[in-house]
Amino acid sequence: MTSAIAVLLELAGRDDLDSSSRQALLDAAGHLRGSDGTAATSPGGLLDAIPDAVTIHDQRGDVIDANTAACRLYGHPRGTLLTLNLVDLSPALTSDHIEHVIETCRISDAFTVETSIRRSDGRNFPVEIHANAYEEGGETRVISIARGISHWQRTASALRDADQRYQTLLRSIDKGVYVCEARGGAAYANPAALQMLQMTEEAFAQAARDGFPGWQWHDERGRPLDAAEYPSTRAFASGKPGQSELLCLSIPHRREPLWLSLTSVPLFRAGEETPYQVVVACDDVTELKRMRDVLARTQVVGSIGGFELSLDRKRLICTDEMYRLFDLPHDMPITLERLSSLLAPYDPDVMEDHIQAVVRGENVQHEHEIVTPLGRHRWLSIVLRPLRSGNAVQGVAGMCQDITARKLLEIELRRKAITDPLTGLANRESIVDELNRQIIATRPGESGPSLLYVDLDRFKTVNDILGAAAGDGLIAAAAERLRESLPDGARCGRFASDEFLVVLPRLLRGERASELAETIVQRFRRPFQHLGEDYVVTASVGLARHPKDGVTVQTLVRHADAAMSDAKRRGRNTWQAFSIDMERQLENSLEIENQLRHALERHELHLAYQPQVDMGTGRLVGAEALLRWRHPQRGELLPLAFVPHAENSGEIVPIGSWVIQEACRRLSEWRDEGIALPRIAVNVAYRQLLSEGFLDLVVGTLRRHDLPGDVLEIEMIERMLIEDTPETLQVLKDLRGLGVRVLIDDFGEGYSSLNYLRRLPIDALKISGEFVRRAPGAAADLAICEAIVRVGRGLELDLIAEGVETDEQRQLLLAQGLRIGQGNFFCPAVDAETFVSFARRRGFG
């Protein structure tokens, strides 16, 4: 008795029990104190006061008692439960599990496990089991409390680990989104969806755990849907995105049904063919649906025209409403030919075909658009029935109902399903469908559609500076410029955040695509305005043509994207057409990126070292560590052949980390050998500079090799500083705080700005080797070198000349006051052993 009470009190004290379960355990323990002990182990006893499933087991795991909640959970009557073992209830557990529980409880007082139980109908059900052991009558007993685990609980944990920007997007958009798991049930709903449902997150989670009791979906005709007909279920089954559809959802706490326009998209894990989730996007169209229904009910009692037609077509009797619907004067007789002439598009055989069907005894109902003599467009529902005398058809009775408002609403609903709400352009799904339709319509041997891939240059920078609202305004303005540029028959859609697709129909000549690409580039050179300020956001455009550049949608989009990327590599603000060479480059790029992923682990990367010397005395003052790749097929590769690919793929971060560690390790090794090299420089990419953990890497590497911060120099190309952000400034300040020097490499080649030289904590400039090589014979290059020297001195920055190849260049640089240089004149980049020999010849060690 005492042991059972203690176990109940101990379990009640667990932090993970809800308040009702905890109170039930405390109440049961209190009753046991006042009883003779028989109630605790008798059917229908005090254990039934506990809402969770409770079973009591002997040392073999056999069930010796169970409460009513356990009978419900396992689906067995109590008598059957008493014949079962712990492993019968939970086949996922091992046969010695009860022994493990008893042993654990002796050490840590309690035992908790997440597993699954098997119900009487054979279905598995996830549970969390809290157990403890106690002694009763000299026998060891185990009390087990099982609680169900919902899909919501498992998925919520995973969603918390999801990408933060994805979560922010879901929470900020005004479109409702909910996520369904493959094992059933909705796992997550964003704030917009919760607002539509009029629920809190907690209420939705509880409803999900309970299986959404009382929720019922209906189609547009009011027919209840089975679970297999839900959009998410069909998306799981087909593995394909579902078409937008209109459904009604009835929820117990809402007084009125909720009408939603739904689109379901399945998600796949890499390498899997079965969806693991379905994302359902929804719009609340309840008001639109209510307006349509009100109009429909109104039209039942009014706005209906009637007529009768004789079989010989000579007599047509019409009501007054028919004249109003067709905008015809009452003094003009209406004929069947006159009514048929108003159909849009005009087809003289349509009405005659309908009437012939009625004469055969059929009922006919069709919807037609008409254009009245006053130019008004109306949609009419035309219902035709046979007029009978006995079994013989004597004529045709008809009714015309004005359904214009309903049809316009349907068109609007369809438009919303295929339109990007920010720009009014076709959305991603719609523009891809249009491209696919154009491809399908192309006959063999014909030229198909052309595709332009338009990307806004530096949009992210402008968006970060001005904010999301201004960024949305810029996207909308860019869409309008694209729309104004389109020729007749072309369609434009928003493909991604700042990316657009333009589909030119197959009937336009191929040259028109090139002309349009140039037009778009030209138009985007005009600045955009925001709060009275001008902002230049240019466009890079890629062009791919069917079937020359691809015969499928995926291939055309990929190749147009590759052409756009090539335009960006050429300096942005231009367009490029896809070519065979580009395809080879694309394949080469993919091959290089794939091989780079294994280059580190295969020890194919190594460093070469180029001395930096005092050009007046020849004294060795430092070295630059230069990355090389011993490619198994292509031989020794310089950075230009693979570093851009590493930057695109993200491999530059682990590779750059290895470079810093290897350079510092080598410098420490040299110092131990008596070669006290003052400093060593490494090149760092922008992506690596702002990567998480970069500063920790620098600090840890210096400490590991017992090196002061001032022996390490970080070289960055000046193009990186065009992305002049607060994060960049903070990282550079932190590096300076460590004593690490920051240099601008290849200064003067492209994006020179005196502003960032003034604001950023920079220690030195390296004059580009291109200027140094040409300086002796080119006045312009010599003038640039002199200007860089003056700027550096004025800002009190150190100066280094790279690419020194001749003594003439050396003397010219010395004459301008430059002391430090590097280049093949002194020593090319060499391996570590050769560098040591060079250093010893210069008096080190």
Decide if pLDDT at 108 tops 80: no
Give pLDDT tens digits for 219-228. 988 899 998 8
pLDDT at residue 678, rounded to an integer? 94
Q: Is the pLDDT of residue 341 over 90?
A: no
304 or 236: which carries more pLDDT confidence? 236
Q: What is the pLDDT of residues 135-163, one digit of tens each?
A: 887 888 989 888 877 654 554 444 444 45
pLDDT at 13: 58
Which of 158, 152, 100, 106 lies closest to 129, judged by CA? 100
Q: Residue 686: its pLDDT value, please?
A: 84
How many residues are recorded in the chain? 845
The more confidently predicted of residues 455 and 583 is 455
Window from 336-350, 398-412, 557-571 with minimum mean pLDDT: 336-350
563 residue type, one letter: A
pLDDT tens for each residue of 195-206: 998 999 888 888
Please, how many CA atoms are within 13 Å of residue 807, restricted to the half-sphere of its CB? Answer: 1
Confidence at residue 10, expressed as pLDDT on a 0 to 100 scale: 59
Q: State the pLDDT at residue 334.
A: 81
Task: Give the pLDDT mean for 294-302.
Answer: 48
The contacts of residue 31 (CB under 8 Å, 6+ apart) are: 39, 46, 49
Entry pTM: 0.44
Residues near 85 by beta carbon (within 8 Å), at least 6 away in sequence? 60, 61, 62, 63
Strands (E), 137-275: 139-148, 176-181, 186-189, 216-218, 245-250, 258-267
Work out the number of other CB atoms within 10 angstroms of the CB of residue 64: 15
- Summarised one tens digit per residue, pLDDT across range 607-664 is 999 999 999 999 999 999 999 999 888 889 898 888 888 887 788 899 999 999 999 9
643: Cβ contacts below 8 Å, ≥ 6 apart: 627, 652, 685
H or E segment to which residue 837 belongs: helix 832-841
Long-range contacts of 350-357 (CB under 8 A, 24+ apart): 354/382, 354/384, 355/309, 355/313, 355/384, 355/396, 357/384
pLDDT, residue 154, reads 53
Choice among 45-54, 557-566, 582-591, 744-753 with the minimum mean pLDDT: 744-753
Q: Give the HSE-up count for residue 616: Cα atoms under 13 Å, Cβ half-sphere.
A: 6
Residue 475's pLDDT is 92
* Separation of alpha carbons 748 and 756, rounded Å: 13
Find the mean pLDDT for residues 248-264: 89
pLDDT over 50 at 734, yes or no: yes
Distance in angstroms (rounded) separating the CA atoms of residues 825 and 618: 11
Q: What is the pLDDT of residue 344?
A: 77
pLDDT, mean over the chain: 84
pLDDT, average across residues 566-588: 83
Q: Using the CB atoms, write b or e for 342-353: b if 16+ within 10 Å.
A: bbeeeeeeebee
> Can you tell me the mean pLDDT for 201-214?
86
**Helix orientation angle between 2-12 and 19-34, rounded to the nearest 10 degrees:** 160
pLDDT at residue 836 in the model: 93
Cα–Cα distances in angstroms (integers) from residue 139 to residues 56, 133, 374, 621, in the given order: 12, 10, 97, 83
- Span 114-138, mean pLDDT? 85
Higher pLDDT, 718 or 220: 220
Which is more confidently placed, 580 or 10? 580
| pLDDT at position 36 over 50 | no
780 or 62, greater pLDDT? 62
Q: Which of 21-25, 380-384, 416-420, 461-465 has the lowest mean pLDDT?
A: 21-25
Segment 248-261 mean pLDDT: 89
pLDDT of residue 753: 57
pLDDT at 573: 92
Residue 363 has pLDDT above 60, yes or no: yes
Mean pLDDT value of segment 20-47: 51
